[in-house]
């Protein structure tokens, strides 16, 4: 059976993220040589998250095709676990972190680009790569959400997970400042301690809001309130359904 369009899209998106990551890592920027390297930037962390997520999506599609018609209960169980991992990663990381990076970057960039992406970086990062890191994340994740239903975890566990990620990254940024004496993002140098605390608190709240937005959007697109069956079971049944003659 030929790959359906959504599977082809996932492969193409995965390859694009691999290309973006390779091109970004190949750039010799001074900030890459300092403490924390690329891992101190949320943009880079988000690129890794997106690449891993779409890698899991492609792996799920391949597993679905390879186990189609086998009738193995064990293979079906393993496939359900893979689908659960895919859905959890979209809900907790890929959607909220991806939308956060796009929204916050372009809002600050529009206000004063020197606060988030100094003009000096144009000498290192070409325009297409900047958009690959800060723009295409949005349409890619919306395409994935539109082409496949994703079962969200319980709201409490999902919010706890995104809060853990947010606080963990904030602590990491503060630790980098403690070690190097410099903030990861230039605008943090120009605001006082109270404003930083307010900013960090606001970003955590925004992350939680984006998680809830993803949950509502997913429910709206797929109208889950009217679907009595488990979406995992529907997906599994579709995978193992034999084509009619």
Of the chain, the end-to-end C-alpha distance in Å amounts to 14
- Residue spans of the domains in the chain: they are 6-25+42-225
Instruction: Supply 42's token pair.
Output: 């949320």
- The whole-number pLDDT of residue 234 equals 47
pTM over 0.75: yes
Which residue matches tokens 């690449």?
51
In this predicted model, which residue has the larger pLDDT, 147 or 163? 163
Q: What is the pLDDT of residue 227?
A: 52
Distance between CA atoms of 194 and 73, rounded to whole angstroms?
56
Taking the C-alpha atoms of residue 192 and residue 3, their distance in angstroms, rounded to an integer, is 54
pLDDT for 70 beyond 70: no
* Sign, Cα dihedral of 17, 19, 22, 27: negative
Q: What is the pLDDT of residues 174-219, one digit of tens each?
A: 999 999 999 998 889 888 999 999 999 999 999 999 999 999 999 9
Q: Treating both helix axes as pointing N-terminal to C-terminal, what angle do 193-222 and 137-147 enclose, rounded to 10 degrees?
A: 30
Average pLDDT of the residues of the chain: 87
Mean predicted confidence (pLDDT) in 44-53: 97
């Amino acid at each position: 059976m030929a790959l359906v369009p959504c599977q082809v899209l996932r492969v193409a998106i995965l390859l694009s993220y691999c290309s973006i990551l390779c091109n970004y890592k190949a750039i010799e920027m001074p900030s890459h040589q300092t403490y924390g390297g690329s891992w101190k930037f949320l943009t880079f962390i988000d690129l890794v998250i997106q690449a891993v997520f779409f890698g899991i999506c492609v792996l799920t599609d391949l597993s679905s095709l390879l186990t189609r018609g086998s009738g193995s209960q064990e293979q079906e169980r393993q496939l359900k676990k893979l689908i659960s991992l895919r859905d959890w990663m979209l809900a907790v990381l890929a959607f909220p972190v991806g939308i956060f990076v796009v929204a916050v970057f372009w809002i600050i960039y529009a206000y004063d680009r020197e606060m988030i992406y100094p003009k000096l970086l144009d000498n290192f990062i070409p325009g297409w790569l900047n958009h690959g890191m800060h723009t295409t994340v949005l349409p890619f994740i919306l395409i994935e959400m539109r082409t496949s239903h994703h079962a969200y975890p319980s709201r409490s566990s999902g919010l706890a997970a995104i809060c853990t990620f947010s606080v963990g990254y904030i602590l990491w940024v503060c630790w980098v400042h403690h070690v190097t004496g410099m903030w990861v993002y230039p605008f943090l140098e120009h605001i006082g301690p109270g404003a930083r605390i307010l900013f960090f608190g606001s970003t955590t709240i925004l992350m939680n809001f984006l998680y809830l937005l993803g949950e509502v959007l997913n429910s709206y697109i797929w109208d889950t309130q009217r679907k009595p069956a488990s979406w995992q079971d529907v997906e599994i049944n579709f995978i193992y359904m034999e084509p009619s003659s």
